[in-house]
Chain A
Amino acid sequence: MEKKKTTRKQKVQKDYARQKMVFFGTLVLLLLLAAAFAPYLAPYDPYEQDLANALKPPGAAHLLGTDRYGRDMLSRVIVGAQTTIFSALSLVAIVTAIGSAVGVFCGYRGGRLDAVLMRASDVFLAFPGMVFAIAVASVMSGGVMNAALALACISWPKYARIARSQTMAIKNAPYIAAAKLSGSGPFKIIFRHVAPNIAGPIAVTAVLDIGTMIMEIAGLSFLGLGAAPPTAEWGSMMSNGRSMLQTSPWVILAPGCAIFLTVILFNLAGDTVRDLLDPRSR
């Protein structure tokens, strides 16, 4: 490949993207740390009921108020971050791994198994996303993990498609042929040569998907198909607070804003990753 001359403008843009990445990366890291150490950060026990202090508006003792059982909203939102964010992250990780494994395999090998797997992914892609997730989650018995599994069922084909087309695009590149000639086996070629070269677009898709997955997990929980009521999870907290919207809106606003801010942060980080790895698509 011919080496491209970088213009000054491109360099400035790239530096800018890098600075943004450091900024959002730090914020994401802080958020993850906060979620990981949530039990230590929460000022109160998120599950301890105190009926005398039920539905107190935000104030000095309870910064975000209390819910109908007198549980501290701030603590519940902080601990809820753990449930929501980590289930979304593990969901994206699993889906990316399975989807790209299938995609690389299909793209590299081709043949009948490729055709079968791609037809299967066609079927999954034919369902409107949430409809199928709702159906799967309703058959399984609830819980955040099952909600994540339901979403995983419908999300892997997207990654398989991307990985497959990327693999097919580079499969016949001279350096792959060179690797084959020098006696590398298929595993070595896939891990050493194919994987690093197709990782970019897949990583961009994955990071941009985190926000959507957070919203969808929360959505399933909101419908009662994810986390069960006592668990501090943002979607189910909002669902439980629905009837108190008029009298104590903070019960809704606190988890709602938590979802909103988290999703916006991951979306901004995702956009920055895209600018860094794949500047053409801008």
Chain B
Amino acid sequence: MKKYIAKRFLQLIPILLGITFLSFLLTNAGASDVISLMESNTGTVMPKEQKERLRQEMGLDKPLVERYVIWLGGVLTGDMGESFVSKKPVFSTFLSKLPATVCLAGTSVLLTVALSVPLGILAAVRQNRFTDYLIRFLSFIGNSMPNFFVSLLLIYFFSLKLRLLPVMGSASGGKTVILPTLTLALAMASKYTRQVRAATLEELNKDYVQGARARGVGERRILYFSVLKSAMLTIVTLLALSIGSLLGGTAIVESIFMWDGVGKMAVDAIAMRDYPVIQAYVIWMAAIYVCVNLATDILYRYLDPRIRLGGEGF
């Protein structure tokens, strides 16, 4: 196990290097030069000598790879430059917005579990009956709705028509979290209900269930004590994996609901062409995603005795 973890951490290094290099290339090899961008952002015309001096100050006259190494050193020490717009350090801005996104992702995952696990199991138990068809139909619909459409529909019905829930902001009490959570959870729950159903069905078709039935163990007992326990493994893995993609996928929902997290920060930064902010967003989201995936893999190995005891290799 230790050997495996060490190996996975070593594999992480080239991936993280790749992520940072790609993000660096993306914002540096682009057609538009940073200085001209700053010029158009501030709205003042800079004389040519000043531009040249700025370029030298920012090290833009050095070759690309050298700039990358310098920049990477900055990233590792938490210095990712300043925002073109607000002139504040990017990394601390990112950190200050992160809790809001993590909170939104957390509530969404909780709601997803609360919806998809019971519904998926119910659909599996009632396979090919009305309940199953209804649940599958609903999950199919949930899968085919883009999240911006879902959020606008939710705003329309719950905030504008029924006036039950507030629409915007992350400041005013807990109620504002409901609609964005619902939006994110509906899409994810539709996906995971199907997976939970499939996992449960697979378990239900195994020999030990037949054996338990033959011995006269009650259906309920089989379901809760044996099937659910085994299916949980798949479900836990799926959910852990979804946390990573959820962290990145909240951008649209955050900007619709004015949720003051990193996703909204990135979308706002795009409108202003504030590259350092976008860069920080991409790198850290990817880093979080990779780490969560790695943690999931390790957790999965730890939880599943077949893999854990089966040997150290792949």
Residues on A close to B: CB < 8 A?
119-120, 122-124, 126-132, 134-136, 138-139, 211, 215, 218-219, 222-225, 235, 238-239, 242, 245-246, 249, 252, 256, 259-260, 263-264, 267
Contacts and interface: CB of A to CB of B under 8 A. Distances in A.
Given A128-B249, A134-B270, A135-B281, 18 more contacts: A122-B14, A122-B18, A124-B22, A135-B279, A138-B273, A138-B278, A139-B26, A139-B27, A139-B30, A211-B144, A219-B148, A223-B251, A223-B255, A238-B149, A245-B155, A245-B160, A256-B146, A263-B144
A225 B140 contact: no
B178 interface: no
Contacts of A211: 144
A119 B18 CA distance: 9
Contacts of B279: 135
Nearest to A136: B26
Interface stretch (B82-90, B169-177, B240-248): B240-248
Of A218, A223, A235, A263, most buried by chain B (CB within 10 Å of CB) is A223
A264 B140 CA distance: 8
Give the top 5 A-B pairs by smallest Cβ distance, nearest first.
Answer: A128-B248, A123-B18, A131-B248, A138-B270, A256-B149
A153 to B, nearest CB: 9
Given A131-B286, A219-B252, A245-B152, A126 B19 contact: yes
Contacts of B69: none
Interface string B257-279: 00000000011011101010011
Contacts, number: 125
A272 to B, nearest CB: 13
A122 B248 CA distance: 17
A205 to B, nearest CB: 16
A211 B15 CA distance: 29
Contact of A131 (B140, B255, B282): B282
B282 A135 contact: yes
A250 to B, nearest CB: 11
B54 interface: no
B107 interface: no
Given A135-B23, A135-B26, A238-B148, A127 B282 contact: yes
Interface residues of chain A: helix, strand, loop or mixed (majority): helix
Interface string B1-29: 00000000000001100110011001100
A123 B248 contact: no
Contacts of B23: 135
Contact-size category for B: 35 or more
B165 interface: no
Nearest to A242: B152
Contact of A259 (B18, B140, B149): B149
Nearest to B18: A123
B146 A219 contact: yes
B26 A224 contact: no
Contacts of B144: 211, 260, 263-264, 267
B145 A260 contact: yes
A82 to B, nearest CB: 18
A122 B281 contact: no
B149 A249 contact: no
A211 B187 CA distance: 14
B153 interface: yes
Contacts of B252: 130, 219, 222-223
B289 interface: yes
A223 B143 CA distance: 20
